Chains A and B, each alone.
Chain A
Amino acid sequence: MADLIQLLTNGLALGSIYALTAIGFVIVYSATGVVNFAAGQFVMVGTFAGVATLVNAGWPMPVGYIGALVVMALFGALFYLIVYLPLRASPIVTVIIGTVAIGITIQNMALLTFGSWPFPVPSPFDGMMIDLGGTVISAHAIAVVIATGVLILLLWLLMHRTAIGIAMRAVAQDVKVARLMGLRVQWLLAFTWILAAVMAGIAGLMLGPMWFADVNMGDPIALKAFAATVIGGFGSLPGAIAGGFFVGLAEVLGASYVSSAYKDLIAFGVMILFLLFRPQGIFGEKIQDRG
C-alpha cells in the first residue's frame, strides 16, 4: 500500500509533465492546425532555460524561474516568426518535416551550448520528503501535481473568462470569420505559440529535478505527450490532461508491477488500441468532423 501511494504520486507527477506538454501541443494544433513535432524540444529548452538561469547564472529561485519563463516566451515568439509564419501556407507534410527538422536543430544547438553531460536541476523542494504515516513521498512530486492543477485551472479561466481566451477559441474554430469580426488573428496566433512555449517551459522546469537536464530528453517527452493526445482525443484539452495522467501512471505503475523494460509498451500499446478502436480518443471529436 505504501509503495502504491508513492508510485501513484510519481505517476501523477510524470503525468503532469506529459499533460502540460500535450496541452501545448493541443492549443497550437487547434489554433493553427500545425502538429508541432518539436513540442518535446520545447520542454527540453524549458529545462535548459532553467539550467542557464538557476545553475549557470546562479540566480535565486523565483528570479531564475521567471527568467527562464521569459526566455520561453521569447522562444515561442521566435518560433512563431521563424518557423510558423514561413510554413503556415505549406502542405501538411512540409509542416511536419519542418517542425521535425527544427526540433533536431534545437536539440543540436542545445548540445553545442550545454554539452552531452546531464545537469542536475535544483528544485525549491530539494531533498524534502513528506511522511504520510510510514509512506514517504517526494515533496517535489506533490508540488508538481499541485502546480499542474493550478495551471490547468488558470488555463481554463483564460480560455473561458477572458476576452483573449474567447478570441483564441474563436480563431481555433474559424479563422476567416474571426478575421471578419475584427480580431487580430496574427497576434492571437503569436500569443498561442507563446502560451504553448511557456506551458512547455513550466513542464521543463518541473521535469528537470525529476530526470536531470539532458539534451535528448525532448524525444521521449514528445512521444508520450503524443500518445496522451491520441488517447485523450486529438485536439481536446480535457483529453490532453486525462491522456497525460494516464500515460504517466501507466509508465510508473507498469515499470514497477510489470517490468521496467516494458513500461513504454503499456502506454504505446494503449495508444495503438485507441487508434484501432476509438480513434477519436476519450473526449475527442472524430477527426473528419473538424471543419
Chain B
Amino acid sequence: MTILDARGISKRYGGLLALADVDLSVAESEFVALIGPNGAGKSTLLNVLTGLTPPTSGTITLNARNVTRSATHSRIRAGLGRTFQHGRLFERLSVLENVMVGAANRPGRSDTALRKAALDTLGLMGLERFAHQPISALTYGNRRMVELTRALAGQPRILLLDEPGAGLNSGEVEDLMTRLRAIRAEHRLAIVLIEHNMGMVMRLAERIVVLNFGSKIAEGTPTAIQADPAVLDAYLGAGSSYAGV
C-alpha cells in the first residue's frame, strides 16, 4: 500500500526551477533514500511534502488523502513525521517536554497520556535516563537521537529524515542504523532518508531516488544506482567511470 505519493511536483522561485516534475512514491514500511549533490532540490522537496512550501504544481497524496493544499499540522496528523538537518530541538524545553511536543499531534490526549506516551517512546529508544535533563546537557549524538524520538512520538506512518547521520561518529552512525532498522520493523514505518553518507544510504535503502538540478535523474536499487552513468556523471563529472559513489 502506498503511504506517500507525490506526482509531478514542481517548484519555481522566480526564474529558478528548484524542482521539475518530480515523482516520489513510498510504500508502507519501505526504506527510500533521496540523494543528490548540494542544491539538487532534496530539502525543497521535503519542504513541499511537509507543507512548509507550496508546490507550483503537482499533487501530494498521504495515506490516500489529497493533502496538496493542507496545512502542515493536518499532514502531520495524517501520519507524516520529520527531522531536521541541523537537529532543531526546543533548547529551553527538557528532553521529555520536547518529546511531549512531538506526541501532541493527536488531539484529545490528556496531559498524563501525553507524558506517558513521551516516556514510552524515550524508553523505546533507550533514552529514558535523559528525560528530565535540559537539551544543553546532551551530547551531539544524543541530541540527534532525541530528535528522532520526538518525531517518532507522533506515531508517524512515514518519517522524513534530513541528514540524521550528519556530524555523528562512525559508532553513532552504526547505532543510528540499528535503531532505524528496528523502528521500521517494529512500527511498519516507511522512511525517506536524505543523507550524504553513502555507506549508510547503500546499506539501509531498498530504493534510491537521485535528484540533480531539481529533476529526478535516476531511481532504483542501491546496486543499480551505483552503476548508473547519469548518477556518476552528476556526482563526479562527465566521463568518469568511478563506481564508488
Contact = CB atoms under 8 A, between A and B. Distances in A.
Partners in one complex: yes
Interface of A: 161-163, 166-167, 169-170, 173-174, 176-185
B181 interface: no
A180 B72 contact: yes
Contact of A180 (B82, B100, B111): B82
B149 interface: no
Contacts of A173: 90-93
A181 B150 contact: yes
Main secondary structure of the interface of A (DSSP, over half): helix
A121 to B, nearest CB: 37
Contacts of B88: 174, 176-177
B105 A181 contact: yes
B50 interface: yes
B149 to A, nearest CB: 12
Given A166-B100, A182-B154, 20 more contacts: A163-B100, A166-B101, A166-B104, A167-B101, A169-B97, A170-B90, A170-B93, A173-B91, A173-B93, A174-B88, A176-B52, A176-B88, A177-B90, A178-B101, A180-B52, A180-B76, A180-B84, A182-B72, A183-B101, A183-B105
Contacts of B102: 181
Given A167-B101, A167-B104, A174-B90, A181 B111 contact: no
Interface string B114-146: 100000000000000000000000000000000
A163 B92 contact: no
A12 to B, nearest CB: 29
B23 to A, nearest CB: 23
B126 to A, nearest CB: 22
Given A163-B104, A163-B111, A180 B91 contact: no
Contacts of A170: 90, 93, 97-98, 101
8 contacts: A163-B111, A166-B101, A167-B101, A169-B92, A173-B90, A176-B88, A181-B150, A182-B72
A161 B96 CA distance: 12
B92 A182 contact: no
A184 to B, nearest CB: 5
B187 interface: no
A180 B50 contact: yes
A60 to B, nearest CB: 34
A147 B52 CA distance: 43
A183 B91 contact: no
Contacts of B52: 176, 179-180
A174 B111 CA distance: 21
The 9 residue pairs across chains A and B that have the minimum distance between CB atoms:
A182-B105, A182-B76, A170-B101, A179-B72, A177-B88, A173-B90, A182-B73, A163-B111, A166-B97
